[in-house]
A and B are shown apart, each in its own frame.
Chain A
Amino acid sequence: MHSVELIPVEFNLPNLLLDLAKKISSIIAADVFVEQLSKDISKYYNHERGQYDASKILKYIEALDKANYSLVITSVDLYIPIFTYVFGLAKVNGNAAIISTHRLGNEFYGLPANTEILKERIIKEAVHEFGHLIGLRHCANFSCVMSSSTVADEIDIKSNSFCASCNLIVSKNET
């Protein structure tokens, strides 16, 4: 069974963490525990863009060389140099992933804030990036959590779990 450390960094909804960890754990059938040690990511802030460099944060986390998978969750806005923003980042078959809740909340789109929708989106993004870590690529099935979403409203369309073919790949990779 996999183990995942959920690492909150500049995450402003700490009271959601245990609940998120529990939900994610039940979907991916892995132990998910919350890491409490604080991490300083201030040097990955780009003043010109007002965003944090996701690939640099990932490299920093990867260098910590943890025994388990690391999943960083943050409220700050992320970018990689070629993109205006990213929701999250993970290398296929890597050991660390990062997701940002910054562009997932309805309130950033002029809509009333909705914690339930936000939580669902966070869970799907977390499961999605974890999927990449265990070797999955994007899936053409729109209801599969591994289908690619580049805007928040698209996340709502997919379910929070792997489709049968993705599950098959997961179990193959495990053996």
Chain B
Amino acid sequence: MNNNEIKILIVDDDEIVRESLFGWFEEDGYFTETAKNAVEAINKINATRWDIYFLDIKMPGMDGMELHKRIRDIDKDAIVMMITAYASVETAVQALKEGAFDYITKPFDPDYLSHLVKNAVKQKRLTTENIKLKDSLKELVPPPDIIGGSVHIKEIKKSIAIVAPTSTTVMIRGESGTGKELVAQAIHCQSDRKFLPMVSVNCGAFSETLLESELFGHEKGSFTGALYKRKGKLEIANGGTLFLDEIGAIQPKTQVDLLRAIESKEFSRLGGNDAIKSDFRIICATNSNLEEAVKKGLFREDLFYRINVYVIQLKPLRERNEDIPDLVIHFISKYRKKMNKMVDGIDSLAMDLLLQFEWMGNVRELENSIERAMVVAKKHLLMKEDFLLNSQMGTVQFNSNLSLAEVEKKHIINVVESNKWNISLASKILCLDRATIYKKLKSYGINRPEDA
């Protein structure tokens, strides 16, 4: 049942209400018609079947309450929403007792109406046929590629395939830059929640109040600057997956609230009282030692056990060097497209350099250096120099207590050596004339080695 098979009838004597609701539902693709009074409505009801009705309570002639009863007599499964002004809320409550689905008070929050109608449609779909969103959605966000042929990567892929279709909470652990969010995305894309988004929160990026607002949302005016109500990520993740990165950074008070929300799937917005229900699956990630934090009393033990259910541990890149060539090829093709550059491979000396490097920043650092090398690359292969010039991967390790003269010396020597003492090349790179380079080298007491 697609949206255009859902029929909505709006009955209101106010033209503006009819017009604007019609426009709104038109954008959603529902089949919509309007009637300006009960008589016109009854004619339309006799002519065809309607799924959802919006009835104004106060209308001249037969009012919405009476029309509601008539509709019920014809179709007891009809979904009826009453439209009211503040003054007639009590009447609307009476309509609920008589079987109305819900009521809305003018003017209403568009987000609220959107939810109301989605719920109504869901109920309609369940009662008429058992077709879910899945069938109307042909294409999806493709699962991310997890690159590498090492035993470790194979095991990670296996773990993902095992845990994805379940509703188990997953904890992804590993140094920063190892691709924890990518693994989370892969789990989400292979789960039956893939039809709705994975919503990510980096818990380390917010102050305590802002993280609470980020997670649970807030009501207007609940803290300085909160001029409008905000929906939290827990609510936005309804039906999908909530990815909590750097979970170890959450403060104790928020830990309590989060634990309660995870267990009951219910919470309230900051400064609000209404209980909000949301059905989300949790995937967490951390690069910190949570066990240690639990011991020190910084991380609640009960929350720890609640989230540390199925653990996926990612190895640092330096412990799985054999994945580097695949990753390099992957990133080259990624940036070749992005930068529109003719680079299509890597020189073997450059690859050797990458294989020997320690990669403390893991895959992210490798990706960054490929990107930087692609910027300066002049040939169709990435060369060793492309890397040396653009990162701390050469022999030069610049630190902040070096004088400018020392940095200059290190850099000149590095460029000369990495260009195999081709002084013309070095002079182009350094933008110094050859004579100056020779003079500098002499002053450093450095001579051309025999084999260069």
Task: List A residues at the B interface (Cβ < 8 Å).
Answer: 55, 79-86, 89-92, 103, 107-111, 132, 137-138, 140-143, 148, 150-154, 157, 163-165
Contact = CB atoms under 8 A, between A and B. Distances in A.
B197 interface: yes
B226 A82 contact: no
Given A91-B23, A142-B197, A153-B236, A163 B28 contact: no
A153 B23 contact: no
B20 interface: yes
13 contacts: A81-B20, A81-B106, A81-B107, A83-B20, A107-B225, A108-B227, A109-B218, A109-B230, A140-B133, A143-B141, A148-B28, A150-B114, A157-B236
A83 B114 CA distance: 11
A142 B109 contact: no
B180 interface: no
A81 B197 CA distance: 32
A46 to B, nearest CB: 11
Nearest to B2: A140
Most chain A CB neighbours (cut-off 10 Å) among B27, B106, B133, B196: B27
Contacts of A81: 16-17, 20, 106-107
B139 A110 contact: no
Interface of B: 3, 16-17, 19-21, 23, 26-29, 106-111, 113-114, 133, 136-141, 195-197, 199, 209-210, 213, 218, 223-228, 230-231, 233, 236
A103 to B, nearest CB: 6
Contacts, number: 108
A29 B243 CA distance: 34
Contact of B20 (A55, A138, A153): A55
Contacts of B26: 91-92, 137
Nearest to B230: A109
Nearest to A158: B197
Most chain A CB neighbours (cut-off 10 Å) among B209, B210, B225, B228: B228
B228 to A, nearest CB: 5
Contacts of A150: 110-111, 114
Given A86-B110, A137-B29, A110 B20 contact: no
Nearest to B109: A84
Contacts of B223: 110
Contacts of A157: 197, 199, 236
B27 A148 contact: yes
Contacts of B21: 82
Contacts of B195: 142
A103 B228 contact: yes
Contacts of B3: 137-138, 140
Contacts of A92: 26-27
Given A137-B29, A153-B236, A110 B197 contact: no
Contacts of B225: 107-111
Given A137-B27, A140-B137, A141-B137, A111 B199 contact: no
